[in-house]
Amino acid sequence: MTAILKVDTIQDTSGNNIINESSDTITIGASGDTTNIVGTLQNNGSALISGITEADQFRLTSTITGANADISSNLERVDDATFGKIGTGMSESSGVFTFPSTGIYEVRFNGMITVASDANAQIEVNVSSNSGGAYDVVNNINVGNNNSSTITVSTSGNTFVDVTDASTFRVKFVTTSFGGSTSLSGDTTSNYTYFTFIRLGDT
């Protein structure tokens, strides 16, 4: 036997609305109430996930000097005793990073660069949405030195990537315009040059 209860409002014994339906909008509780969900809250059959579900960080472990190429080696996930990632984390192979799941990700580069007098250096953030396709330069981080002596600076850049297919999206970092004495600092015990990946929400 099936029973159907047809009401627009359910109230507690004090007359306060517990559940109210109006114009196809269902309101549970009222301002100041605490709503306790026992079990799994779903959206169209899928469990709702709140907060950041993926956050990871890698770093360059040794210094690159005078090279204009993909940053493809001497990379490690940060492994300090106080480090912790959220979720599965990124996968890295020969400098190519792949994503653990779909979503909107912030991809951030932070680097320590030494640039000779009257020279400049660039770091490109390259993204591809096709596992066999070309990369797109989505961020170009430039450091110029107009001084009469060598300078060392910390620089950064970030971008949002809408990862609609975790099996095909990739990101890599490329050094360009590096002169013979220009260098990108790396270290295995501290973050001189590092790469941060945070999943901000659903695609």
Identify whether residues 91 and 175 lie together within a single domain: yes
Identify whether residues 59 and 118 lie together within a single domain: yes
Identify whether residues 64 and 158 lie together within a single domain: yes
Identify whether residues 42 and 75 lie together within a single domain: no
Identify whether residues 23 and 69 lie together within a single domain: no
Per-residue pLDDT tens digits for 13-56: 888 888 888 888 888 887 778 887 777 777 777 766 668 999 99
- For the chain, what is the domain count? 2
Identify whether residues 40 and 58 lie together within a single domain: no
Identify whether residues 168 and 77 lie together within a single domain: yes
Per-residue confidence in pLDDT tens, the chain, 203 aa: 678 888 888 888 888 888 888 888 888 887 778 887 777 777 777 766 668 999 999 999 999 999 999 999 999 999 999 999 999 999 999 999 999 999 999 999 999 999 988 888 999 999 999 988 899 999 999 999 988 899 999 999 999 999 999 999 999 999 999 988 999 999 999 999 999 999 999 99
**Which residues form the domain of 109?**
54-201
Identify whether residues 108 and 179 lie together within a single domain: yes
Nearest of 200, 202, 195, 203 to residue 56 by alpha carbon: 195
Q: Domain for residue 4, yes or no?
A: no
